[in-house]
């Protein structure tokens, strides 16, 4: 009898917890859908090929799109190799707990620094001291430091999920540790690395203060990473700040829609690639 009562209580508690988690999940999905629909429905009427691919002032956002893409690729080109190499060292090579602890403390500290401080650092070190000026390269270097903690931690967690039997089996066949990491461990951890890439892209695209200080606000079409420019996020900020009539807000919503669609496309493409690599590895 008592066992039956306890069993009933556990079932009720499990049902309540399941209902709570389902409600939280529904709220998150509903918030995302509401934000996307709200922005896109108010900006879709202004979006056109001319709006996206024109450089005409007050009409097109093509220079901002190009600057954003430059910033994303520059930041990832710098941060991904360093972040993945650091995660591999921490998880596969280092046998000194104190050294690992010091490195992880440094990574956690980097993750907690406000973005405006990164912007000041990039402005003083890369833009002025290194002589890069306000440029895409200065912004990419600054943002690469910002996204390093995300890439390192996510990649390290992904490496930890690879079964030890994979490593032991590879080493038993006579391969070196590096060959095991390169041919067995990293391919198995690739979905996690792609997740780190998504998070890094999202952080780069969404930042404003560091980009404003290191890249600038010029509306020109950048020809290289040594030019200044204006990202979509900074452009959206100035559009809303200077908006005087409904037409201005319409352009701002259209720019926000492009930004949201860009992030969604990156996420969906990465998920597709992750599923493809998982299927490929299973076969």
Which pLDDT tens digit goes with each residue over 43-73? Answer: 888 888 888 888 877 678 899 999 999 999 9
DSSP state of 217: -
Alpha-carbon distances of 249 from 46, 135, 244, rounded to whole Å: 11, 28, 8
User: What is the mean pLDDT of the segment spanning 132-161?
Assistant: 93
The predicted model scores a pTM of: 0.85
CA 130 → CA 124, 127, 158, 217, distances in Å?
A: 8, 6, 35, 20
Can you give the pLDDT at residue 215? 93
What is the full DSSP assignment across 235-275? HHHHHHHH--SHHHHHHHHHHHHHHHHHHHHHHHHHHHHHH
Q: Distance between CA atoms of 221 and 227, rounded to whole angstroms? A: 9
pLDDT tens figures, 166-186: 888 888 888 888 888 888 888
Distances (CA, A) of 35 to 39, 40, 210, 276: 6, 8, 25, 29
* DSSP label of 46: T
Confidence band of 143 (pLDDT split at 50, 70, 90) = very high
Greater model confidence, 6 or 147: 147
Q: What would the pLDDT profile of 18-31 be if each residue is shown by its tens digit?
A: 999 999 999 999 99
Domains (ranges, CATH) in the chain? Answer: 63-282 (1.10.3720.10)
How many Å apart are CA 251 and CA 45, to the nearest integer?
Answer: 9
Strands (DSSP E) found in the chain: none
**If you count DSSP H runs as helices and E runs as strands, how many of each does the chain have, helices first?**
13, 0
Percentage of the chain beyond pLDDT 70 is 94
Checking if the pLDDT of 118 tops 90, the result is: yes
pLDDT at 281: 62
**Residue 1 pLDDT greater than 60, yes or no:** no
Cα atoms in the Cβ-side hemisphere of radius 13 Å centred on 88: 20
The percent of residues in the chain predicted with pLDDT above 90, rounded, is: 35
Q: What is the pLDDT of residue 261?
A: 86
pLDDT per residue as tens digits for the range 242-273? 776 777 788 888 888 988 888 888 888 877 87
C-beta separation of 194 from 204 below 8 A: no
CA distance 219 to 80: 28
| Structure tokens that stand for 181 in this block | 């990491």
Q: What is the pLDDT confidence band of residue 213, given thresholds at 50, 70 and 90?
A: very high
pLDDT at residue 120 greater than cutoff 90: yes
3-class SS shares of the chain: helix, strand, coil, % to 5 = 80, 0, 20
Q: Considering the chain, what is the average pLDDT of its residues? A: 87
> Is residue 50 within 8 Å of 60, Cβ to Cβ?
yes
* Number of CB atoms found within 10 A of residue 181's CB: 21
pLDDT confidence tier of residue 79, bands split at 50, 70 and 90: very high
Task: Please indicate whether residue 251 or residue 127 has the higher confidence score (pLDDT).
Answer: 127
Q: Which of 79-88, 139-148, 193-202, 245-254 has the lowest mean pLDDT?
A: 245-254
pLDDT of 6 above 70 = no
């Amino acid at each position: 009898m008592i066992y039956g009562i306890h069993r009933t209580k556990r079932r009720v508690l499990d049902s309540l917890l399941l209902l709570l988690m389902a409600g939280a999940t529904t709220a998150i999905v509903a918030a995302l859908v509401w934000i996307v629909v709200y922005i896109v429905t108010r900006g879709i009427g202004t979006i056109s090929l001319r709006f996206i691919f024109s450089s005409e002032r007050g009409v097109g956002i093509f220079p901002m799109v190009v600057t954003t893409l430059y910033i994303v690729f520059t930041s990832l080109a710098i941060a991904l190799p360093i972040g993945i190499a650091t995660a591999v060292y921490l998880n596969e090579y280092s046998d000194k707990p104190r050294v690992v602890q010091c490195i992880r403390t440094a990574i956690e500290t980097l993750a907690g620094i406000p973005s405006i401080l990164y912007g000041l650092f990039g402005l003083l070190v890369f833009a002025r001291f290194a002589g890069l000026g306000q440029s895409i390269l200065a912004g990419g270097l600054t943002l690469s430091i910002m996204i390093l903690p995300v890439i390192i931690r996510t990649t390290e967690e992904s490496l930890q999920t690879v079964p030890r039997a994979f490593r032991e089996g590879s080493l038993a066949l006579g391969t070196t540790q590096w060959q095991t990491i390169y041919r067995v461990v990293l391919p198995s951890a690739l979905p996690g690395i792609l997740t780190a890439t998504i998070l890094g892209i999202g952080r780069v695209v969404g930042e404003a203060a560091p980009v404003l200080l290191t890249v600038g606000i010029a509306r020109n079409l950048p020809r290289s990473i040594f030019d200044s420019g204006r990202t979509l996020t900074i452009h959206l900020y100035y559009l809303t700040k200077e908006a005087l009539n409904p037409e201005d807000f319409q352009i701002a919503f259209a720019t926000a829609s492009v930004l949201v669609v860009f992030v969604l496309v990156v996420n969906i493409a990465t998920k597709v690639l992750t599923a493809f690599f998982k299927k490929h590895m299973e076969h």
